Amino acid sequence: MRDAWGLIEVIESEGEITLHFGNHTAQSGWHPAQPAKLAFGYYRALLMGLVLHPDPRRLNLYGLGGGALARYLLEYTDISVHAHDLRPSLAPIAQQYFGLDLEHRRLQLQFGDICASDELADVPAADIIWVDIFDEQGMVPIPTRSLAQMARQLGQIGVLCINVWRNDLRSLGDLTCALEHFFDPDPLVLRVPERYNSVLCYRAEPWQPHDILQAHRRITHFSSPVQETLREAIGWLEALPRKQLG
Residue 115: what pLDDT? Answer: 81
Neighbours of 195 (CB within 10 A): 13
Residue 136: what pLDDT? Answer: 63
For 74-106, b where at least 16 C-beta lie within 10 A, e where not — what string? bbbbebbbbbbbbbebbbebbbebbbbeeeeeb
Residue 171: what pLDDT? Answer: 83
Q: Domain limits at 94?
A: 39-239
Residue 157: what pLDDT? Answer: 93
Q: Let me know if residue 92 belongs to a domain.
A: yes
Residue 3: what pLDDT? Answer: 82
Instruction: Inform me whether the pLDDT recorded for 234 exceeds 90.
Output: yes
Q: Let me know if residue 233 belongs to a domain.
A: yes
Q: Which residues contact 116 (CB under 8 A, 6 or more apart)?
A: 146
Instruction: Inform me whether the pLDDT recorded for 9 exceeds 90.
Output: yes
Asked whether 60 and 46 are in contact (CB, 8 A), the reply is no
Mean pLDDT of the chain: 92
Q: pLDDT (tens digit, 9 = 90+) per residue, 80-103? A: 999 999 999 999 999 999 999 999
Distance from C-alpha of 232 to C-alpha of 43, rounded to nearest angstrom = 12
Residue 156: what pLDDT? Answer: 87
For the chain, the first-to-last Cα distance in angstroms comes to 55
pTM beyond 0.85, yes or no = yes
Instruction: Considering only residues 135 and 139, tell me which one the structure prediction assigns the higher pLDDT.
Output: 139
- Return the CATH number at 49: 3.40.50.150
Residue 166: what pLDDT? Answer: 81
Q: How confident is the model at residue 133 (pLDDT cuts 50, 70, 90)?
A: confident
Q: pLDDT (tens digit, 9 = 90+) per residue, 198-223? A: 999 999 999 999 999 999 999 999 99
What single-letter DSSP state applies at residue 119?
A: G
Q: Let me know if residue 231 belongs to a domain.
A: yes
Q: Let me know if residue 130 belongs to a domain.
A: yes
The count of domains in the chain is: 1
Q: Let me know if residue 80 belongs to a domain.
A: yes
Q: Let me know if residue 5 belongs to a domain.
A: no
- The arithmetic mean of pLDDT across residues 231-246, rounded, is 81
Asked whether 216 and 174 are in contact (CB, 8 A), the reply is no
Q: Let me know if residue 34 belongs to a domain.
A: no
Instruction: Inform me whether the pLDDT recorded for 134 exceeds 80.
Output: no
Asked whether 66 and 21 are in contact (CB, 8 A), the reply is no
Asked whether 90 and 97 are in contact (CB, 8 A), the reply is no
Give the strand order in the sheet containing 26-30.
9-13, 16-20, 26-30
Residue 37: what pLDDT? Answer: 94
Residue 117: what pLDDT? Answer: 60
Query: Max alpha carbon distance in the chain (Å)?
Result: 55
